[in-house]
Structure 1
Amino acid sequence: MSTVALIILVAALGAMAALVFAPSVRQSGRGGLMNRFGPEYDRAVSRHNGDEKAALWELSERVRHYGNLPVQRLSPEARESYAARWAGLQEQFVDAPAHAVREADRLLGELAVERGYASASHEEQMDAMSVRHAYTVDGYRRLHLMAAQTRGGGEVETERMREALVSARSLFEELVRAQPQDRGLRRRHPSRRPVLPQQSRGGQRPGRIPGQRLGPAR
């Protein structure tokens, strides 16, 4: 076989391999983003009117922009403080639900910024957080929207406010809980554990939001 014929054969085999394996590579990338972002993937597709390619591009850009964003440590004292403040808001909800929702929105935003998610806009902050907290960040969106509605002066159903506050709790717990990058802090303070919202120092449960189950954090 001549050299030219051999080159043509190799090129043809390479093209065939590309045709065979390219769909699986694309599917792997798509599947990886779908698994990573979960509900955020569906939200992105909906925002792009069903255009999956546009949604995948947007999510890829989030990873590129925010994937290496350094997450700041929280001291054990800061964790306990945030947890105690959240528990206090749960108690306040019974008598002043709208105020509790607005304060919870402010508290979660403060915690996010301290964790390193400081952005020029709320949407950018949500995008940054979605890279590591894709399965819980929408709860913060719901809480933020509900807080805005209560500021508008309109009447909002207490049940809707309760649901918004409960939906944001998972993200709060993820942010306040010790993360892998905080191992140094845990070693220096082995006996200090954050008091999560369902537990107080005295072992008593704080006042709960009506209808909420305050089981152990997973």
Structure 2
Amino acid sequence: MSTTVTIVLIVVVLLVLAAAVFGVQAARRRKLQQTFGPEYDRVVADTGSRSEAEKELTERTKRHAQLELTPLSSESRARYATAWEEVQIRFVDNPGEAVATADELVTRLIAERGYPTGDYDERLADLSVEHAATLEHYRDAHEISRRSQAGEAATEDLRQALVHYRALFAELLGENPVGRTTPAPRSAADEHVNTTPTEPTSR
């Protein structure tokens, strides 16, 4: 076999291998994008590197696979639904306290489903694997709750926080269809929360 033919064969083999590697990487990228949705772009922006972002998201998937997640019993679902109704009713007289309670309630629900709740950032990472569609709601709600504790949130902000908490709460409870990120009112209490005046009322 001539040197020229050998070189051509080597080049062809290298091209085939490169195409195979590219195909595997493209398939992995598509899978990550489908799994994480907008969270994929967020992590890419945060890391400044697509490869680093994909490495991080792959690690999240591996950690998530090790979690022992459990569905809620019908009794637990009913208990949480009742507790949420009470939060919404409380919002009428004390929006700040209602939002703080909503944060605690969502955290308890996350824990009961089997997710670790010690570190907030790790909590977000674990939730992102199955709940990426509602994760931004949770981030927004948590930030408003933080501002509320500092006395920096208006009534309309608190109303929005409750709506944001409701998105993840409903999904963890199994009430939201896949891909639906905006919760619809479920009761008269919901309707009141969704129409609370944008400015705090005097008391």
- What is the TM-score when the length of structure 1 is the normalising length? 0.75
Could you tell me which of 90, 93, 98 is aligned with 1:92? 90
Question: Which of 189, 194, 201 does residue 206 from structure 1 map onto?
Answer: 189
The answer for the alignment partner of 1:22 in structure 2 is 21
For 1:61 and 1:108, the matched residues in 2 are separated by: 25
SS at 1:134 equivalent: helix
Q: How large is the Cα RMSD of the aligned pairs? A: 2.8
CA contact (8 A) 2:148 2:158 kept: no
Q: Which has the larger share of helix?
A: 2
On the 8 A contact 2:102/2:162 being kept in 1, the answer is yes
What is the rounded CA distance, in whole Å, between the counterparts of 2:168 and 2:190 in structure 1? 20
State the structure with bigger RCO (CA 8 A, min sep 6), 1 or 2: 1
Spell out the pairing of 1:22-171 with structure 2 (5 A cutoff).
22-48=21-47, 50-152=48-150, 154-171=151-168
For the Cα contact (< 8 Å) 1:87–1:198, is it kept in 2? no
CA offsets per residue over residues 8-27 of structure 1, 9 Å max, x none? 87655432212233323212
**Pairwise CA distance, 1:6:** 9.5
Q: In 1, distance between residues paired with 2:174 and 2:86?
A: 18
Q: Is the 8 A contact 2:145 2:161 kept in 1?
A: no
1:9 and 1:176, CA in 2 relative to 1: closer, same or farther beyond 3 A?
same
Q: Deviations over 1:127-179 (max 9, x none)?
A: 11111111112212222222222112x2312222212221222211111128x
- Equivalent residues, number: 188
Q: Which residue of 2 aligns with 1:183?
A: none
With the length of structure 2 as denominator, give the TM-score of the two structures. Answer: 0.80
The one-letter code matched in structure 2 to 1:142 is: D
User: C-alpha separation between the residues in 1 aligned to 2:37 and 2:157?
Assistant: 24
Find the aligned partners of 2:127 and 2:105 in 1 and give their Cα distance.
16
3-state DSSP class of the match of 1:28? Answer: helix
Tell me if structure 1 keeps the 8 A contact 2:144–2:158.
yes
Distance 1:119 1:90, change over 3 A: closer
Residues 197 and 118 of structure 1: CA distance in aligned 2, closer, same or farther (over 3 Å): farther
Find the residue that maps to 2:85 and give its secondary structure.
helix
Q: 1:73 Cα shift?
A: 2.8
Q: Secondary structure of the equivalent of 2:24?
A: helix
Q: Following the alignment from structure 1 to structure 2, what is the Cα–Cα distance between the partners of residues 7 and 67?
A: 46
